[in-house]
Structure 1
Amino acid sequence: MSRSSRTGKFIYDPEVEKAACRRRQETKKCKEGQSSIANDSEEDEISMANNQTLRELAAPKLTHQPLCITFPTLAENTSFELKSGLIHLLPSFHGLSSEEPHEYIQEFEVVCSSMKPLVVTEEQIKLRAFSFSLKDAAKDWLYYLPAGSITIWAQLKKKFLEKFFPASRAISLRKEICSIKQYLEKSLYDYWERFNKLCTRCPQHQISEQLLIRYFYEGLQSSDRSIIDAASGGALANKIPREACELIEVMAENSQQFGFRESNPTRRVNEVETSSSIQQQLSELTSFVLQLAVGNVQRARVCEICTNVDHTTDACPILQEDGAEQINIAGGVPAPRRQYDPYSSTYNLGWRVSRPTFRL
């Protein structure tokens, strides 16, 4: 092998050439040995598989599937362990449709940032603690991801939101924001809070601040809309979006602090009755009709002769006895009257009212 001298010419050195040849041969032999070892191991595995029984081949492997998260390597002579206190502080996410993925991610990042040790980065904590906060279907989703496919927290966060906050959910929330309305008998503060929570649930709604204020203003009740226009100097449209938002926020807070109360409210002529009052009137009317019906039935069954409710006037026993007496008289045999009969000539009124007297 030749080498350069100070004059710029190359000088051949046989010792250097021999050393280089020896090194090339050793490297070649090492590679051939490694390849032969790999081939031998593959052949051994194939031969071992051919010699195994069906039961041994169907037995589950003891090696577990590696996790999809590849944790960054720690610095030399550095150890890291997640404390149980940190794990208990982590929020839980089960993968339900009623849960808010953005709210969960925000709370998770707050907990991890507040418990950061000095020896590791916040990236390490988030990647290692994320699996402990997932439950049920959400944890199953994490285990089904390809092994080693995630290396950084931003990538894991993106995968999570794509799974549990799809585009269809964002579109539904945007429609709800555009068509928001103030409920009856709800204060301005309640309406403002509901609007802000709806916008927070969908951070990527891509609606400008001007349109957000417009949708909020159009959904107001006429009374609150008039109050806001008066407070803004005639019309809210004369304010810039930032000023309009601040004005609405101040008025909403004032509504929460003091509220409102109506004194001696006047009833309108064509006011629609509430469902509770209608139900009460219907129940009263039904009760009155039932009382009338019961009274008519009782009145129809009361006998006009003996005032008995067990039979009608036509079926009174007294009329039946009079008829029998007339029949007997017509036959020449008068029927004797009972002494307690009030229609008899021998009826004594004193029999009913007489009672024994006791003298001291």
Structure 2
Amino acid sequence: MANARTLRELAAPELPQQPLCITFPTLAENISFKLKSGLIHLLPTFHGLSGEEPHKHIQKFDVVCSSMKLPRITEEQIKLRAFPFSLKDAAKDWLYYVPTGSITTWAQLKKKFLKKFFPASQAVSLRKEICSIKQYPGESLYDYWEKFNKLCTRCPQHQISEQLLIQYFYEGLQSSDRSIIDAASGGALANKTPREAWLLIESMAQNSQQFGFCESNPTRRINEVEKPSIQQQLSELIFFVRQLAVGNMHQAKVCGICTNVGHPTDSCPMLQENEAEQVNMAEGVPTPRRPYDPYSNTYNPGWRDHPNFSYGNKPQNAFSNLPPGFQQ
């Protein structure tokens, strides 16, 4: 039979369908299970990018699947069938390369997923951020507490005790908030147990969010030099440039009548001469007209002496100025 096949048929690849890496549990008799499109649209998506949080994706996926209650169908069966629909792009490709039949439970699938997209190096990096957390100047106690909790949630396997977590948080506080917490704890936070200290800080953070205030004029130490903010310096620079531009415009103002730069429009000499003529006409004094006045509205006899015109008995010979040797 192999010799009877053509070269084209022999070169054609045969792609047998590979089963998925997940082996679904067998259902009871007379039970059919089918995912509804409404559930698939509610599932969160994970693309496998560096900025995504795999633990948060697992939590969102658990919330959606726990809301689905089907008769005689366990929650684990729902998760195993629905999880591939929550993966996109690189994460979806990873699922296809997992060995066939290597996953039989939801715990195995979750462990392989976190091992791939949350390696040990990322956990070490987040653990370092937790240990070196600092409160920025101007950051409220509530914002600092929220930032600390988000770091701890992103790395559930940080393996840091509650005592050390409180210590890292307390050491990163600004001096003002640290004094307030010490005063609220009766003198020093170290006199509280780790659980009491945690509850006290959490209560104070929530209280600062509900009844927070903004300092209109914060106090400064005596040896602290007041420095203008970058926004203030930028505003002053913009104001100076605008003033400089306006001054240059006033200096280079062009007259609208004679188009000269030396004087503004209201100080034009031609405008002053017209005003003087109007005053003389009102007083009955004849105004001497300049010869060849281009702005005259009536006949101007001065045009008769203009060198560019000829009047009277002057010979009108168009060829009088020709060089010698030319015929008319």
TM-score interval (norm. to shorter): 0.7 to 0.9
Contact 1:91 1:107 in 2 (8 A): yes
2:200 corresponds to which residue? Answer: 247
Code of the aligned partner of 2:280: S
- Count of aligned pairs: 264
1:92 has 2:45 as partner:
yes
* Structure 2 counterpart of 1:53: 6
Which residue matches 1:282? 237
Name the counterpart of 1:117.
70
Alignment of 1:136-285 (within 5 A): 136-265=89-218, 270-285=225-240
1:204 offset after TM fit, Å?
0.5
- Structure 1 residue 355 corresponds to structure 2 residue 281: yes
Displacement, 1:114? 2.5
1:250 positional shift: 0.4
Which consecutive residues of structure 2, in runs of 5 or more, have no partner in the other structure?
A: 253-259, 264-275, 285-328
- Taking structure 1 as reference, are residues 287 and 113 closer, same or farther at Cα in structure 2, changes over 3 Å only? closer
RMSD: 2.7
Q: 2-side partners of 1:310 and 1:114: how far apart?
A: 83
Paired residue type of 1:126: K
The 8 Å contact of residues 189 and 255 in structure 1, kept in 2 or not, is answered as: yes
Q: Distance in 2 between matches of 1:101 and 1:351?
A: 91
1:97-132 CA distance string (max 9 Å, x none) = 121111111221232232132222222111111111
Alignment partner of 1:75 is 2:1: no
Of 64, 88, 93, 2:17 maps to 64
Please state whether the residue corresponding to 2:20 is helix, strand or coil. coil
Distance 2:115 2:11 in 1: 37
Query: Aligned with 1:251: secondary structure?
Result: helix
More helix by share: 1
1:119-134 to structure 2, matched below 5 A, reads 119-134=72-87
Residue type of the alignment partner of 2:118: F
Higher-Rg structure is 1
TM-score by length of 1: 0.66
- The runs of 5 or more residues in structure 1 that have no matched partner are 1-47, 299-307, 312-349
Q: CA deviation at 1:77?
A: 2.6
Q: How far apart are residue 95 of structure 1 and its match?
A: 1.1
Q: Helix, strand or coil for the counterpart of 2:281?
A: coil
% same residue: 73
Q: 1:233 to 1:53 in 2, by over 3 A?
A: same
Q: Which whole-Å CA distance do the structure 1 matches of 2:108 and 2:74 have between them?
A: 17
Deviation (angstroms), 1:216:
0.8
Over 3 Å counting, the alpha-carbon distance change for 1:157 and 1:267 in structure 2 is closer
SS of 1:355's partner is helix
- Change over 3 Å in CA distance of 1:288–1:128 after alignment to 2: closer
Q: Distance in 1 between matches of 2:220 and 2:159?
A: 45
Q: Give distance in 1, aligned partners of 2:62 and 2:32.
A: 22
